Structure 1
Amino acid sequence: MVRPAVIAHRGYAGVAPENTVTAATRAAERDETAMLEIDVQPAACGTPVVVHDERLEGTRDGRPLTDATGLIWETSLEALQETRVLGTDATIPTLDELLAAVPETVGVNVELKNPGTADLRVGESLPADECANRREIWQPFVERVVADCTDFGSDLLFSSFCEGAIAALRETAEYAAAPLLQDDLEAGLEIARRYDCEAIHPPRSAIVGTDLSGAAYTGGSAAEPKIDVLETAHDEGRAVNVWTARNWVQFDALAAAGVDGILADYPGLDEGSDV
């Protein structure tokens, strides 16, 4: 059986300060890591920076997200680059800085998280006029992101929960794309069809035929999925990369189901499997 690709979620966020150069370089050193997954948003000047949350304050597993406060896109690049992540000495990097530190033996999944607005249309398949408006909102930031990726020599895959981001990418470059699916699985599949996306990224609770199916999970319904997104995507020629495995039992279940890639919070989860 072909094993799914291991995608280091935020650089294996379970063992390193997420979305930092430290996390990325450590994850890239591991043999099983096929790809890194990172999140990008703009600093106040528009420069793409690698960070997940919209705000600098908050907590993750009991630790402060950073030692600063405020919205990412209202904070200067200089201030962001001095901000410490999760109580460590690691700082928020620019996209250009992180990519420069990643060896070209490892691919990168760039999640287009936010173009610099609190008004997002997440997980929706949009009418044509609204999609055009959303594409215009995303376009300047997506162009900056693509420009920073130009010199990166390995595989790149762009993903987003927002159709406007996928639309802007298709207007800007020919990189592979994947909608991130949430509760409305059919909407995500429709976006994949509309932009002829190479992959889809559903939550682990969306994979039918596993014990994970229908379990309450971030971004997913607690009900049994009405659509077999794995079978549908494969029938349509798309890869299925699932988020997010936190232990080897979850990894094994997803691997046995036949997914193509698994975003993992911890390294070594594939070693627990005898599938």
Structure 2
Amino acid sequence: MNDPAIIAHRGFAGVAPENTLGAMEAAAALEETGMLELDVQPAADGTPVVFHDDRLEGRRDGRPMTDETGLIWETPLESIQSAQVLGTDQTVPTLEAVLAAVPASVGVNVELKNPGTSTLFPGQSIDDETLTQQRSKWDPFVERVLEDCDEFDGEVLFSSFCEAAIASLHRKAPHYAVGTLVWDDLEAGLEIARRYDCAAIHPPRNAILGVDMVTTAYAGLDGSEPAIDILEIAHEEGRTVNVWTVETWCQFEALRAAGVDGIIAEYPGLGSWASSSYSRVRP
């Protein structure tokens, strides 16, 4: 049985302030980490910043995400960079800063979260007219993200829930690997992956047939057994399957046994609970 690649979700958000430089550096130092997953969207001046929510005052477990307020894409870069994350001394970094701090031996999964608009069509295959309109919103931001990523010497995998973001990448940088993120419509995810010849597909953890988690509601899926075997189909088509977001070693073991290629994990050590390998750092 092959071990899946471990992708640190927002820099292992279960143990560190998510999407911060400190989280990324700590995750990158762990021997198990094959790739870092992070979210990007623009500041008011278009600079790609690493942040998940639309608003700076979103919450995690009752705690404010930052000590600032406002929509990310309407907030000046200086204010975003000084915003303290989850009550720590860590602040919101730019994509450029994260990539400069990450060693080339660790890959980066850059999720295109939002180009600076409240109108998105996540998880949907959209019609040509809507796609053209949406791509015009994504193109300028994608260009800024590519400028930063072109300077990184390590592996870059892009991903997005939004077809227009994937379409923009496909037109502007077809040499980069892209994974389509799947929400509740597995068929739409496969259709988008085929349309843009995506190297990977990223389904939620309860979308994998044969795993007990399929009966658990999560990520838009209601706990009914999926009508299609997305893992088998993706592998038959030559696509990598990276599953999100895994929070326990039981989930990890079940997905490893099912044969997924990568696991987007909330915590380090999920695949090695019986050993101390997660505590080893890179030389």
Where structure 1 has 5 or more consecutive residues not aligned to the other structure, the ranges are: none
Q: Per-residue displacement from partner, 1:100-134 (whole Å, max 9, x unpaired)?
A: 00011100000000000000011111122221221
Structure 1 residue ranges (4+ consecutive) displaced by more than 3 angstroms after TM superposition: none
- Indicate conservation of the 8 Å contact 2:159/2:181, yes or no: yes
Q: Which position in structure 2 is the counterpart of 1:228?
A: 229
Instruction: Name the TM-score, length of structure 1 as normaliser.
Output: 0.98
Residue 83 (structure 1) shift: 0.1
Q: Identity of counterpart residues, as a percentage?
A: 64
Measured in 2, the distance between the counterparts of 1:252 and 1:91 equals 34
> RMSD across aligned C-alpha pairs, in angstroms?
1.1
- Indicate conservation of the 8 Å contact 1:203/1:219, yes or no: no
Q: Which position in structure 2 is the counterpart of 1:181?
A: 182
- Tell me, yes or no, if structure 1 residue 152 matches structure 2 residue 152: yes
Q: Which position in structure 1 is the counterpart of 2:250?
A: 249
- Indicate conservation of the 8 Å contact 2:184/2:219, yes or no: no
- The code of the aligned residue for 1:212 comes to M
Measured in 1, the distance between the counterparts of 2:40 and 2:58 equals 18
Give the length in aligned residue pairs.
274
- 1:1-275 correspondence runs (5 A): 1-173=1-173, 174-272=175-273
Please, which moves more after superposition, 153-162 or 129-138? 129-138
Measured in 2, the distance between the counterparts of 1:62 and 1:54 equals 17
Residue 231 (structure 1) shift: 0.4
Q: Per-residue displacement from partner, 1:150-204 (whole Å, max 9, x unpaired)?
A: 1101100000000000000011112100110010110000000000000000000
- Indicate conservation of the 8 Å contact 2:4/2:260, yes or no: yes
- The code of the aligned residue for 1:166 comes to I
Residue 273 (structure 1) shift: 7.1
Measured in 2, the distance between the counterparts of 1:61 and 1:102 equals 28
Q: Partner of 1:8: helix, strand, or coil?
A: strand
Measured in 2, the distance between the counterparts of 1:193 and 1:152 equals 27
Measured in 1, the distance between the counterparts of 2:102 and 2:15 equals 18
- Indicate conservation of the 8 Å contact 2:8/2:265, yes or no: yes
Measured in 2, the distance between the counterparts of 1:160 and 1:266 equals 22
- The code of the aligned residue for 2:81 comes to Q
- Indicate conservation of the 8 Å contact 1:214/1:225, yes or no: no
Measured in 1, the distance between the counterparts of 2:10 and 2:209 equals 26
Q: Partner of 2:73: helix, strand, or coil?
A: helix
Q: Partner of 1:244: helix, strand, or coil?
A: strand
Q: Partner of 1:272: helix, strand, or coil?
A: coil
Measured in 1, the distance between the counterparts of 2:220 and 2:29 equals 30
Instruction: Name the TM-score, length of structure 2 as normaliser.
Output: 0.95
Measured in 2, the distance between the counterparts of 1:88 and 1:53 equals 17
Q: Which position in structure 1 is the counterpart of 2:279?
A: none
